[in-house]
Amino acid sequence: MNQVGKSPSRGKTALVPHRRIGPRLAVLAALILFVLIGSPSVWNLLGFTLVTALILGTFPRYYVSPAEFERQILVMFITVRVTRWSWKDFEALETDVEVRVPFWTFFLFGVGNLLWIWALDHVFPWFAGDFKIWLRTLSGKRILGWQGDGEPRFRQNLKILEHQSGLPVTRR
């Protein structure tokens, strides 16, 4: 049995949550089967499938090893970009927490906007999460190393990054 965060096929440690393709494809298949009950036209089914695949299949994955940091970007379940950096290129890890939407926005923007913001935070934590870990290069440039919505995952990933990189941690 593998440890949480381990990617057996690569021999690298994956930051959590490790977004796997198999379960997402299973959800996509189940949704398509559900839509087929209504006998949609071919174009409607194709459109639904493409939009759902775009939503479920577009996400980043992060891997670390003692030598490097790797970021993969998947679009519609296909890896479109893989970028690797040596730990030698960085001088520090930076942590950052974004400010949540204030309660008073409920009165200005209504329930719909708040529900939309909440959905983005929980459905796409890598897109709209509050917690961020940045990798600061020797030239001062910052590279997003992880973004998510929960403190336990934030702490777990920070611990993984600290252990693998040996870099000091600073708070932004």
pLDDT of residue 1: 30
> Domains of the chain: which residue ranges?
6-167
Question: Does the bond joining 17 to the residue before it have cis omega, within 30 degrees of 0?
Answer: yes
> Which residues fall within 8 angstroms of residue 94, CB to CB, at 6 or more apart?
133, 134, 135, 136, 142, 169, 170, 171, 172
pLDDT in tens, 89-148: 999 999 987 655 555 555 555 555 556 555 555 555 555 567 889 999 999 999 989 888
Give dist(CA 123, CA 27) in Å, integer: 14
pLDDT in tens, 25-40: 888 899 899 989 888 9
What are the tokens at 121? 């935070």
pTM of the complete model: 0.72
Backbone phi, psi, residue 106, to 5°: -55, -40
Instruction: Check if the beta carbon of residue 160 is closer than 8 Å to that of residue 153.
Output: no
Pick from 32-46, 51-65, 111-125, 158-172: least confident: 111-125
Stretch 153-169: mean pLDDT? 92
Sort 157 into a burial class: Cβ within 10 Å, 0-12 / 13-18 / 19+. Answer: buried
